């Protein structure tokens, strides 16, 4: 079977194009990865070649032998739909979780995203904590979330509570909250470690003055999470632009009622 004909591939391409259409991927901004299921690998592996082993830049023993579909470094999300063979590729992780090799795609000599350490370290945490259910890691340059990182204190509690208040469904969509990473140099293992640590608690992490990471089980859920958070941020930007204090909002006792009705647990530190 051709990789291009598989549902996981089509879903990946569609998600990248949706992100482009949202305005979250200027130039080569943002990246996407998907941990391919064994049965999906089995269907398409006849097309695989074996590239040279290269260092991941992080150590992820929990992902030994896994295959990932990933966007390429320097590739534009704008081109993923029209030129996927150039923009994306499949990589295999070695048995120690130290190296990867390209087995498909990147036909013009491309390489995986420079944020590969962050993607893989997040995948490693989520694979373990969700018994393998989570398969998608998504990084986008979400305009309004980035704007807020200049005016709100860079604290998980502040971002979570402020964004929860912006739309009634927010605490239902991300009941565990959102983590915040202070400004760090992107593309390396330090920011990857800081992000992966937050992913032990949250499904989404904000990178100050840069963007956001979201993780999830499916393309729909991961894109939906990114979209929900960015939309809440857009509302907050509008509210703050109108006046600096809120005349009314969703209050702590409202959140408690909501949690009961929707059967979600909201951590106390975001309620007080
Ligand atoms: P890549 O083009 O290497 O994926 O980098 C884009 C980006 O958003 C870096 O944070
Ligand atoms: Zn980025």
pLDDT means per 10 residues, the chain with 272 residues, are 98 98 98 98 98 97 98 98 98 98 98 98 98 99 99 98 98 98 97 98 98 98 99 98 96 98 98 92
Q: Which residues line ligand 1 (CB under 6 A)?
A: 28-31, 71, 73-74, 113-115, 139, 186
Which residues, by Cβ under 5 Å, contact ligand 2, an ion?
A: 211
Helix (H) or strand (E) holding 37: none
Name, in order, each residue with C-beta under 8 angstroms of 131's C-beta and a sequence gap of 6 or more.
Answer: none
CA 90/CA 110 separation, integer angstroms: 11
Cβ-in-10-Å burial (0-12, 13-18, 19+) of 124 comes to: buried
CA 124/CA 128 separation, integer angstroms: 6
Instruction: Report how far ligand 2's centroid is from the alpha carbon of 261 (Å).
Output: 37
Predicted confidence at residue 105, as pLDDT, reads: 98
Is 115 among the catalytic positions? yes
CA 109/CA 87 separation, integer angstroms: 10
Of 198, 118, 193, 112, residue with least CA distance to 154:
198
Instruction: Report how far ligand 1's centroid is from the alpha carbon of 187 (Å).
Output: 7
Predicted confidence at residue 272, as pLDDT, reads: 87
Helix (H) or strand (E) holding 232: helix 219-242
pTM of the predicted model, to two decimals? Answer: 0.98
Alpha carbon of residue 90 to chain centroid: 18
């Amino acid at each position: 079977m051709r990789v291009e004909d598989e549902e996981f591939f089509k879903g990946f391409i569609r998600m990248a194009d949706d992100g482009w259409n949202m305005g979250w991927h200027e130039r080569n901004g943002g990246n996407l990865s998907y941990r391919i299921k064994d049965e999906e690998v089995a269907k398409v592996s006849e097309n695989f070649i074996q590239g040279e082993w290269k260092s991941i830049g992080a150590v992820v023993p929990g992902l030994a032998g896994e295959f990932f579909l990933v966007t390429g470094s320097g590739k534009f999300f704008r081109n993923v739909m029209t030129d996927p063979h150039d923009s994306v590729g499949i990589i295999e992780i070695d048995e120690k979780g130290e190296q990867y090799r390209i087995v498909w795609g990147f036909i013009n000599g491309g390489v995986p995203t420079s944020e590969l350490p962050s993607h893989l370290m997040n995948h490693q945490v989520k694979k373990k904590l969700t018994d393998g259910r989570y398969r998608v890691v998504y990084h986008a340059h979400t305009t309004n979330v980035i704007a807020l990182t200049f005016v709100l204190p860079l604290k998980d509690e502040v971002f979570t509570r402020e964004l929860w208040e912006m739309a009634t469904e927010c605490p239902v969509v991300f009941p565990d909250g959102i983590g915040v990473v202070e400004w760090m140099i992107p593309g390396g293992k330090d920011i990857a470690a800081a992000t992966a640590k937050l992913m032990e608690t949250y499904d989404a992490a904000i990178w100050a003055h840069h963007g956001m990471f979201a993780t999830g089980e499916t393309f729909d859920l991961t894109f939906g999470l990114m979209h929900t958070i960015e939309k809440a941020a857009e509302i907050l930007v509008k509210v703050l632009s109108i006046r600096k204090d809120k005349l009314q909002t969703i209050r702590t006792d409202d959140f408690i009622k909501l949690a009961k009705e929707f059967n979600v647990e909201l951590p106390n530190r975001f309620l007080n």
